[in-house]
Structure 1
């Protein structure tokens, strides 16, 4: 840590021992900023897990239960970064006249909710009053106010191509087995492909309420012997599986805020097929097939992959991935946060970034 480093409070209501995208984002950002020399503390309302925070994390973790504890933490720090928009907590920061920025990871709406006034409506309207960072240009376009766009990063120590063989026609899906993720479309498209090319194989990684229906659908379509339902897996096993498949398919039917799973597949060396939904095209950098959310379109793209065609282009893919490595993304946040600090701290923060090997953006 640098002397007189700006004190950054990251507030993430969900955190370890909960495991999910928001929790992982908060941990990666906190550790990255700490490595760049910032004085980082993470506050959360999640009770502690079995492993002591001091043993697990390179930054300080504050477990809070009351608003006054969060207020005290904000007053002790120079700037607060909110992981997601929690209305009352953000209003508290506004009342305390603290410097803060809100990061956005979703459009704050429930599928099929058409009400003109709801909690989600309020959340989409509020960003006009403060500084914002959105994880995709798509998401920024859905919310009021001005936004800096910083894509999510990936764990570049984990998601790497590897040296394992990738059998031609080996496809993989990673995600929750819920209707929004489009696994049914994938199974239907794959069934057509397998009927014509019996060597094709599909691995489905994940759990969810639609698993039984998907297993039955595969049997009905006559491709159940070519599909492996691998269940939920830890990140390490997901990375290993991705590095052993020719192509990852992300067939979402809902608008994805970004789609870190697609970025991980690209980093693991897979050919990519993603639907034209939300931020998914941004997550692949255009180095994949961008298709409509239909079984026919997914089938056609899988046929292209099985025929040996590729959308990966080097060295452009490598350059895209370098910009999304964990520490590179933390550096982008450091530059954005520096602009919200007092002038003297802004100057010092940019010097720190340069000292860490990161020229000012």
Structure 2
């Protein structure tokens, strides 16, 4: 006589509220992380609600496979928190974490920056308080570099990239074609890139640079390109969506990430590798982790960046197989989401 099948004793999947102050239609790394995490956990069968303080655009009807609650104050946020026993924070926002603590929610903090502004010299800051506060919760950092800012031993899970969007292309890539993708702000180092590019152009007049992004420095950088005498070889393409960025990356030989400030990880570097580019990053924050030996790592200065760009023009490469394919597979969106699901389950079991 056959024995009956044992009952399914697997614990139910946690019911989760993801709270991210920035979210669609705002554009940035944290917004993309929140969207990818919510989407991936929903695909795995979790019941997800996402709460944000970012208002919807008037003409935006973007569909999401999970409810998105746009809160204006603490009362609305408290109601959303009370609907879920577990709250995953995209970044530590002080009063919101205190609110979740008072409501006796289980809290997981994901960290996407050191809570310190580039160039800040004060010793007593809100960032210091946030870093001290993190010791009382479960923590996940997007890089080993970032984990070094926080007390204890936070779990490290690298960011992932959208492998359904950023794929290699067999199309032609002019050997002297360089591209930047990111916000046009001081810490992203676009002025450093322009100065290095202008010097490179003196040796290789055929080189070209495309700057994808927008921000407060847009006009300043356009003027700098003109002052450096390289405006005719630089295209400012403005801000673009992921699909257009992927298409443009596939048309360039090399992505440059010239950050001079704190860079928690650098998803754009992964995207460049996945799109088939050579990738040059500066030795800042988590950027070396984002290329892991498959890209070029340089000091953020004109001479080393120019020399490396010249080497790329000459056909030198740091891309190597099969290691690069394995590295990228390890950072695909679904792979990273599964790591988060495993980490959350482990925190809940504690």
Correspondence for 1:293: 300
The reply to whether residue 320 of structure 1 matches residue 327 of structure 2 is yes
Check the 8 A contact 1:170/1:246 in 2, yes or no.
yes
Correspondence for 1:107: 114
Tell me: CA distance 1:325–1:115, structure 2 relative to 1, closer, same or farther (3 Å): same
CA distance in 1, matches of 2:66, 2:11: 16
CA distance in 1, matches of 2:75, 2:225: 53
Correspondence for 2:245: 238
Correspondence for 1:93: 100
CA distance in 1, matches of 2:152, 2:135: 4
- The runs of 5 or more residues in structure 2 that have no matched partner are 1-9
CA distance in 1, matches of 2:203, 2:264: 35
CA distance in 1, matches of 2:229, 2:55: 47
- Aligned-pair Cα RMSD in Å: 1.9
Correspondence for 1:60: 67
Check the 8 A contact 1:78/1:341 in 2, yes or no.
no
CA distance in 2, matches of 1:251, 1:146: 29
Correspondence for 2:7: none
Correspondence for 1:227: 234
CA distance in 1, matches of 2:39, 2:170: 29
Which residue, 188, 205, 209 being the options, matches 1:198? 205
Correspondence for 2:3: none
| Deviation (angstroms), 1:40 | 1.1
CA distance in 2, matches of 1:20, 1:208: 12
Matches within 5 A, 1:211-360: 211-342=218-349
CA distance in 1, matches of 2:335, 2:110: 17
| Deviation (angstroms), 1:11 | 0.9
Q: TM-score, normalising length from structure 2?
A: 0.92
| Deviation (angstroms), 1:318 | 1.0
Q: TM-score, normalising length from structure 1?
A: 0.89
Correspondence for 1:25: 33
CA distance in 2, matches of 1:312, 1:177: 27
CA distance in 2, matches of 1:48, 1:337: 29
The reply to whether residue 138 of structure 1 matches residue 145 of structure 2 is yes
Q: Residue 110 of structure 1 aligns to a residue in which SS? A: coil
Check the 8 A contact 2:213/2:239 in 1, yes or no.
yes
Q: Residue 183 of structure 2 aligns to a residue in which SS? A: coil
